[in-house]
Amino acid sequence: MTSHKYSPMRALAFCIALMICCAGDWLQAVQLAATPTAVEFFVSTHGNDSWSGRAAAPTAKDGPFATVARAREAVRAFRKAQPAPVRVVVRGGTYYLDRPLEFGPQDSGSEKAPVVYAAAEDEKVVLSGGRRLDGGRWGEVKGRKAWVLDIPEVKEGKWSFHQLFVNGDRRGRTRLPKEGYYHIETVPDYNASAPDDDQHHNVRRFIYAGTDIQPWHNLQDAEVVAVETCIANRLPIREVDVEKRLVTFDRPSRGNLMYGGPARYWVENVFEALDTPGQWYLDRPLGRLFYLPMPGEDMEKAEIIAPFLPQLLRVVGKKDEPVKYLRFEGLTFTHTEWQEPPDWPREGRYTGAWYDLPAAIRLTNAFECAITRCVIEHGSAYGVEVRDGSRDVEISRNRMSDLGAGGVKIWFNSARTTVSDNEIGHTGMIFLTSYGICVADSPGNQIIYNHIYDRHYTGILVGWAMQFEESSAFGNVVEHNHVHDIGKGVMIDMGGIYTEGICAGSRIRYNVVHDIRSRGGDEMGIYHDSGADILVEKNLAYRCTPLHVHYTRNITLENNIFAFGDTEEVTRAGVFDTPLLEYSFRRNVVYFKQGRVVGSWNPANRNCAYDRNLYWNTSGEPLLFGDKGLGFAEWQAAGKDLHSIIRDPLFVDPEHGDFRLRPGSPAAQIGFEPWDLSSVGPRPSSAASR
């Protein structure tokens, strides 16, 4: 038995510790007491807009509201009398909107009394911009059973749609050819003597090959999707001259359809091509939808939805009166139809990015507002857009999928948006040349811990100015993102992470980028296009061209891992004839099995610095640098990599994506600092909240 003698000092220490614990509990209690309790309103599909909205479930005489719009009016009236925090709890179910939900300055909360619209705990709340199509009948198309629906509003010209969803899944319009592409033969209005960079001259017609295009039934219902380098057009057909093989469109193209060679294309919504289960065709003059069911689909019970609204939620503040402290949590936004803006810029270098398509959710002049834990899916364009004077907006922990364009746009005159812990996948379904996350001419944004995958074009874009034009895209942070399976062999000139123009003070760190596949080799992991004043540190890029620099200035590339490029690990497509330092490349590990280390370089290009790097070619072949294939000794004679080494870095399993270093790695000799390669993508909720 051990005896413990009384110690005054030990007793004093115990008393002090007890007082600290009690003080902490007291302080927490005071803080909780000082936090106002949110007043709750409720919305339910079983509600009634004539009720008070203060009860979660219906009773004999009272209960929840039936619509979010009615709850908004009640919140306005309540906060006008009492500016307390308010929480609108939306009960589970699907709410079909007849117009976008719009919130203005009068719907603002405050820092201590925010206004929150949230899904009830563990209940799925769907805000749909679509319409259910009921009352179909069986018909026949080319000897196949088809489900046929008559839609009067389509026949009357009041509605048209480009998407259809059956039992929650997107179904495709008819397509010719069924796989692959047709090829434009020539463009009559193309000016071959124009400057090489005149890729944005617009045309309205082209000559097709053979019988690729025919005078199909309701020809004006058909739409050509033309894919040209980094521009993809959607062009409704106006007329076809079969003798001349000339097709004319009802609007001009973005790009001249000949940049880099004649564009490839396919044609959608052709009645004669309706022959595959899961396809549909909309006959607008008849107002009739034809759908060939998938095997096992019970059309008598199927849920068929066509999108109607282009937007679902608008937060619209004023320049001198922004919307403040308004939050949306746990809601599902779905079914939007795309409409081309009437003031779409027909010319200009950015038209191919479809940047001005409306997002399902748009925030304008919004301060300290948030979209969090929401689902945005089955849409025609972007998920969320922040623009025009918005500040300190949070877009976090959302899932965005099956969208026609990209996930998030942060636009001009906005600042300090945080985009974190989002899943953005299966996007660019309609508009191929869109971005997963787009940060245009906007400063101070944080793009962190996102997972972006399965799309045809760039994952993350930062910047919007070419050739060092004036830019506000400074101080942006791109960290801990996982970007992969981008390109899918369709477009060219893209990147997993792409910077454009001056981005002073911006940081790209701790990202993992891999499996970028373009049509013509321009499949960059990290791509700096006229980029300037950026730190690129501790990133992993592999199974792509890991790094591309094009007319850059003051780019710092340190402590990265670049691996498994198809032909080159680092490429340069343009250099300046000035003494300015374009970029420095130090303490990086470059690991590959074929091709050259650096492409598009010659000894005259002295305005870049290479040193203290580790190179390893697993094939055992000698290292080659630049277009002339300089050996390592010649490269060093040009003043590059004087303190670099050629050694196996001892990765754990690089062939399967494990680039951790084994003990004894020689990477330590160049001052390389390992980091946690798994710290990418959305964090667990507890970590993200810290």
Number of domains the chain is built from: 3
Listed in order, strand segments (DSSP E) in 242-294 are: 246-249, 264-268, 279-283, 288-291
CA nearest to 489, candidates 544, 425, 438: 544
- Specify whether 231 is located in the same domain as 342: no
Is residue 516 a part of any domain in this protein? Answer: yes
- Specify whether 292 is located in the same domain as 372: no
The pLDDT value given to residue 470:
78
Tokens standing for 145? 């059973």
- Specify whether 274 is located in the same domain as 346: no
Three-class HEC string of 428-441? CCCCCCCCCEEECC
The residues facing 522 across adjacent strands are none
- Specify whether 295 is located in the same domain as 334: no
| Dist. CA 369–CA 504, nearest whole Å | 26
Is residue 52 a part of any domain in this protein? Answer: no
- Specify whether 471 is located in the same domain as 537: yes
- Specify whether 401 is located in the same domain as 500: no
Q: How many CB atoms lie within 10 A of CB 437?
A: 30
The pLDDT value given to residue 429:
93
Is residue 60 a part of any domain in this protein? Answer: no
Indicate the DSSP class of residue 633. H
- Cβ atoms of 504 and 494 closer than 8 Å: no
Is residue 53 a part of any domain in this protein? Answer: no
The pLDDT value given to residue 27:
44
Is residue 466 a part of any domain in this protein? Answer: yes
Last residue of a domain, one of 263, 290, 305: 305
- Specify whether 124 is located in the same domain as 141: no
- Specify whether 475 is located in the same domain as 573: yes
Is residue 9 a part of any domain in this protein? Answer: no
| Dist. CA 183–CA 224, nearest whole Å | 12
Last residue of a domain, one of 286, 305, 324: 305
The pLDDT value given to residue 348:
43
| Dist. CA 497–CA 523, nearest whole Å | 11
- Specify whether 317 is located in the same domain as 247: no
* Ranges of the chain with pLDDT below 50: 1-6, 8-18, 20-23, 26-34, 198-199, 345, 347-351, 690
Tokens standing for 335? 């079914």
The pLDDT value given to residue 383:
98
| Dist. CA 420–CA 221, nearest whole Å | 41
- Cβ atoms of 571 and 543 closer than 8 Å: no
CA nearest to 548, candidates 576, 567, 523: 523
The pLDDT value given to residue 3:
42
Dump pLDDT digits (tens) for 588-633. Answer: 999 999 999 998 765 556 688 999 999 999 999 999 998 888 999 9
Q: How many CB atoms lie within 10 A of CB 502?
A: 23
| Dist. CA 366–CA 357, nearest whole Å | 19
The pLDDT value given to residue 32:
38
Last residue of a domain, one of 289, 305, 321: 305
Residue 260: which domain range?
133-305
- Specify whether 181 is located in the same domain as 293: yes
| Dist. CA 608–CA 449, nearest whole Å | 31
Is residue 200 a part of any domain in this protein? Answer: yes
Q: What is the CATH number of the domain that holds 356?
A: 2.160.20
Is residue 122 a part of any domain in this protein? Answer: yes
- Specify whether 348 is located in the same domain as 428: yes
- Specify whether 85 is located in the same domain as 212: no
CA nearest to 402, candidates 336, 329, 308: 336
